[in-house]
Amino acid sequence: MIRLETLTRQPAITGYGAISTPDGVTATAAASPISVTGLTNGTAYTFAVWAINSYGPSAFSAASGSVTPAANPNRGVFGGGAGPLNVMDYITITTTGNATDFGDLTQTVSRVAACSSSTRGVFGGGTTGSNTNVMAYITIATASNATDFGDLTSPTNILASCSSSTRGLFGGGINDAVGVTNTITYITIASTGNSTSFGALTTSRYSLAACSSPTRGVFAGGAGSSAVIDYVTIASTGNAVSFGNLTFGNDSMAGCSSSTRGLFGGGGNAPSNTIQYITIASTGNATDFGDLTVGREQAGACSSETRGVFGGGTSPTNVIDYVTIATTGNATDFGDLTVARSGLAGCSSSHGGL
């Protein structure tokens, strides 16, 4: 004899919950997504979730990947400059307006380079009257003075920097040990310490510019009006590979990017107001993008995923311009830096390398 039993249907899910590690912050919602408020900016969190029905809550899920909330995901910081200066300013990239004082670098420095993660910016190298190997870091969401990070492998001036979400690269420049250099070194942005050898550019040069996608770093131009563009895979140490050429040889440009497109603006050609662009994932020559509002060299640049911002530069100037990275065209006035200066560097919490 076959015994038949009644099958029971599980009650419908009526809600979901999430809990953070650390801090145990919880939130519930009737459906996805769940917004968790009350987290601490700059702290890395994972989350476990559960479902709720008329019987009660289910068991917790496995932990999610780690995320780190930031107070302002679109903040740009400009640091250093001719004088030399230890000044840092900040802007909100998504809005126009004048820059606001952020704090001071650990030393007065110009021709410095900068890179960043979504939470931390690192300024490295440059000149204080003589070349320096000092690196200093800031927490981008919190205006305050910079803190010592470590040292570059050698005192280096007029270098360039780019980054992914975890690793920063410093390339080229005038190195006290060897003169004009092709050296690339790297740091882990979240961990203070000295830089480590990464590889070499295809040619030795200084006064170059750099930008990045989440996986690829690109170095362009350089003294002597170089048109060379190189690239590296940020996660893998090794020598750079030829990418293509700029539309014309140029040096003392500023570079910024979205996750797909890199921009190089200004430069020492006249000085130049030209902006050029590349598609970072595809090797090839640069293409004309448009013009800055003012021709200038030795500017700094930073970006969000959608907007590129160029600040300062020779004569010196306090001008800040912006462009929409996905749309070619001339730059528009953004506002002013707190101090007119050149030889500064920019970084941000939402650039194309993140």
CATH number, span 75-348: 2.120.10.80
pLDDT for residue 71:
59
Q: Which residues pair with 321 in a beta bridge?
A: 310, 333
Q: How many C-beta neighbours within 10 Å does residue 121 have?
A: 30
Residues 139 and 103: their CA atoms lie apart, in Å, by 11
Instruction: Find the mean pLDDT for residues 42-70.
Output: 86
Instruction: Find the mean pLDDT for residues 242-269.
Output: 96
pLDDT in tens, 221-241: 999 879 999 999 999 999 999
Cβ(276)–Cβ(264) below 8 Å: yes
pLDDT reading at 116 higher than 80: yes
**CB-side neighbour CA atoms (13 Å) of 222:** 25
pLDDT for residue 8:
56
pLDDT for residue 337:
98
Instruction: Find the mean pLDDT for residues 216-220.
Output: 98
pLDDT reading at 2 higher than 50: no
pLDDT for residue 1:
44
Single-letter code of the amino acid located at 169: L
Greatest Cα-to-Cα distance within the chain, rounded to the nearest angstrom? 98
Residues 26 and 20: their CA atoms lie apart, in Å, by 6
In percent, the amount of the chain with pLDDT more than 70 equals 95
Chain-centre distance for alpha carbon 163: 6
pLDDT reading at 200 higher than 50: yes
pLDDT for residue 72:
60
DSSP class per residue in 275-305? EEEEETTS-S--EEEEE-SS--SS-EEEE-S
Nearest one of 47, 36, 77 to 350, comparing CA atoms: 77
Residues 239 and 134: their CA atoms lie apart, in Å, by 24
Two tokens at 210? 């750099």
pLDDT for residue 25:
92
pLDDT reading at 130 higher than 70: yes
pLDDT reading at 4 higher than 50: no
Cβ(168)–Cβ(131) below 8 Å: no
DSSP class per residue in 153-184? SS-EES-EEEE-SSEEEEE-SEETTTEE--EE
Instruction: Find the mean pLDDT for residues 141-162.
Output: 98
Domain-by-domain residue ranges, the chain? Answer: 15-57, 75-348
Instruction: Find the mean pLDDT for residues 231-258.
Output: 97
**CB-side neighbour CA atoms (13 Å) of 220:** 34
